[in-house]
Amino acid sequence: MIAASTIAAITGQYTEHGWILRRIVIIDAMSADIASDFEVDVQTGAPVNGMWFSRPPQPGGEVWELRYLGTTQFALVEHVDETGPDFLAKLRSVEERLAAIVAARE
């Protein structure tokens, strides 16, 4: 299970560098109770446990980063258009890619 203190610590690190916590993705519903304390969108049934952060928009699109919630510090970065029709599909694609990478490493 994911500890609330882990989520808080990671959020603090990212906030120091200008990132904003946007959503938390969780594999199982048990961990969703902990994640719900953070007042962001929490999605259960994800292929990986992770936290989505974004930075304020820059030329070239908004940067979103999916930080893996596991023992290994790992993240994937994606440039996305939040207003685009395929926004959620792009996020899900990154989640699936991260899950595959984590599975291959374990």
Nearest alpha-carbon partner for 45 in 95, 103, 106, 98 = 95
pLDDT value of position 32: 63
* Domain ranges across the chain: 4-105
pLDDT in tens, 31-71: 666 766 778 888 888 999 999 999 877 766 789 999 999 88
pLDDT value of position 99: 95
Distance CA 36, CA 43 (A): 10
Confidence of residue 28 (pLDDT cuts 50, 70, 90): confident
